[in-house]
Copies of this chain bind each other. A is one copy, B any other.
């Protein structure tokens, strides 16, 4: 099959209905940023909101801004804005804490809703913090077992016996980009009497998510990847309305109380989603997220998905065409219907190859032990960026420039 040439690819950008959104972002000159699935770039609106929060609301409004600037209710407002992007009706999502902490809340709540059942099912290929937190939950509830897809059985579907209380599962795999069928798996989990907790870290903002339609029970996700909230911006948690009356989580801090300012001695949880809050939230980081979410008012999620598929399809096509025989093996599903908004290739020297790419201005990332990972965020990534990245990768591999010793040194990278 003939590869599209540069002019054909430029024409794709010219007719891209989302091309106007790129102007909302601040992107470094001369680089192709394909790591928005790790840390999304800043928008002008996020910078402006953050500056207003710091220089006006904090510095001038001081304590009054908890009310006058709407700080106290911001986790609920932002929760509803994210809810629209993940198919959740209002009142079911709150922005709070970290993804890890929210997984802890969701697992405890799910286990309490399924008394007598003692197993948590998760994926051995999960982003590890999900498993680490499940271990932590199990450590507080003796008898709880953590059973892993890929270790205890080949597929989650084969593990759903009557002991399973909760299934904690990633919508999109952080490494391969493999996309689960949320509705089908949730139905299967419910059929077995268990509850489904969806980790949306790599799908929220990357593709249409339909939590309510899929009848998901709980979900968690981060806001600093495809939602561009800024480094470490607070995470979110979804609790389906039908569970809110009964769901309990042990991080029962004052922000989850029905009357937080009555300073009562005993805890009485808010009847709604507020009960999944715990303590005072980092408002400066949260205000950057507020700004970051503005661009989404202009985004049609179906158009987002169409462009995402076009970008990842183009990248696979170009890389496989330009880099044939260079030792790359596609790790992502080839069928775009089974793939999120990222593409992974295995290479024996993936770490050094990625360092060489970064030195050339193509920013992707490495995932141990041997994965090159490229994220394609439809809001600002152009088709021409895909071509530039693929050509640079082909050149790095053909020239073996990655063998330069300066690319061998490993340091901590998120």
Contacts and interface: CB of A to CB of B under 8 A. Distances in A.
A308 interface: no
Given A39-B62, A252-B136, A279 B100 contact: yes
List the number of copies, as a whole number.
2
A8 interface: no
B59 A41 contact: yes
Contacts of A104: 250-251
B252 A135 contact: yes
Contacts of A264: 128
A283 interface: yes
B42 A250 contact: no
A72 B414 contact: yes
A131 interface: yes
A280 B50 contact: no
Contacts of A132: 252-254, 256-257, 266-267
A284 interface: yes
Contact of A129 (B65, B254, B266): B254
A373 B72 CA distance: 21
B54 A232 contact: no
Given A35-B63, A280-B224, A285-B282, A252 B133 contact: yes
B231 A58 contact: yes
Contacts of A151: 265
Contact of A108 (B33, B60, B140, B286): B140
A288 interface: yes
Interface stretch (A164-172, A363-371, A376-384): A363-371
A72 B131 contact: no
B59 A42 contact: yes
Contact of A230 (B249, B283, B411): B283
A99 interface: yes
A368 to B, nearest CB: 5
Interface string A31-50: 00101001101100001001
Contact of A250 (B26, B139, B284, B365): B139
A101 B266 contact: no
A406 B284 CA distance: 31
A234 interface: yes
A407 to B, nearest CB: 15
A326 to B, nearest CB: 25
Interface in A34-87: 35, 38-39, 41-42, 47, 50-51, 53-55, 57-60, 62-67, 71-72
A129 B414 contact: no
A113 to B, nearest CB: 14
A137 B139 CA distance: 13
A47 B58 CA distance: 10
Contacts of A63: 35, 38-39, 363, 365, 413-414
A339 interface: no
A133 B253 CA distance: 6
A274 to B, nearest CB: 12
Given A251-B136, A253-B132, A98 B278 contact: yes
A262 interface: yes
Given A97-B101, A129-B279, A131-B267, 8 more contacts: A63-B413, A100-B255, A100-B278, A132-B257, A139-B248, A261-B368, A261-B414, A282-B285
19 contacts: A26-B60, A33-B62, A35-B62, A39-B63, A41-B58, A50-B54, A54-B288, A58-B231, A63-B363, A98-B278, A99-B279, A132-B254, A133-B253, A136-B249, A139-B248, A231-B280, A232-B286, A284-B285, A284-B288
